[in-house]
Amino acid sequence: MTIEVLDGDLSVCQVRDLSAVDWGQPLCFAEKTDEECSLVCPTGCAPKDALAREDGWRAFRIAGELDFSLVGILAQISSLLAGAGIALFALSTYRTDYILVKGERLRDALAVLAGAGWEVSGKKLPAGD
């Protein structure tokens, strides 16, 4: 399977509501439960009035469409990264899974996955990553 690296820095936020979210961004996730409302968005679009916010995340996704019958893909990625001491924040859509890691650990995460047989594609990583 292939990992596709996405461009840009992301923020993970806890927000009061989603009314001010710029849904036109290429990557924007919102989740709401009875206890909280969370938002993942480009850092430049993060709400100024967020209750809590953590910047510095980068993302990659599993390229292609994952069938719901596939089992263990996210668990495998999670285990590999945990074994290397790399924390992650996972998100899923109907089609695929997205993994966020801190920007300073992106190269390490990709190296771990490549070493386990995952193909890595996407935009060229900036020199600082």
pLDDT in tens, 66-123: 555 565 688 889 999 999 999 999 998 888 889 999 999 999 999 999 999 888 986 5
**What is the count of structural domains for the chain?**
1
- Per-residue pLDDT averaged across 34-53, rounded? 94
> Does residue 96 form part of some domain?
yes
DSSP SS3 for 36: coil
> Does residue 128 form part of some domain?
no
State yes or no: pLDDT of 30 exceeds 90. yes
Q: Give pLDDT, residue 118.
A: 87
Q: Give pLDDT, residue 71.
A: 58
* Residue in 48, 50, 4, 12 with CA at minimum distance from that of residue 28: 12
> Does residue 79 form part of some domain?
yes
| Cα–Cα distance for residue pair 63/109, rounded to 1 Å | 16
> Does residue 129 form part of some domain?
no
State CA 84 to chain mean position distance. Answer: 17
Q: Give pLDDT, residue 73.
A: 83
How many other CB atoms are there within 10 angstroms of residue 105's CB atom? 20
Place of tokens 């923020």: 11
Task: List phi, psi (to 5°) of 108.
Answer: -60, -45
State yes or no: pLDDT of 125 exceeds 60. no
> Does residue 127 form part of some domain?
no
pLDDT in tens, 46-74: 999 999 999 999 999 988 655 555 656 88
| Cα–Cα distance for residue pair 46/54, rounded to 1 Å | 10
E strand intervals along the chain: 2-5, 10-15, 29-32, 37-42, 52-62, 89-92, 97-102, 119-122
Q: Give residue 33's domain range.
A: 2-122
Task: List phi, psi (to 5°) of 114.
Answer: -60, -40
CATH number at residue 9: 3.30.2130.10
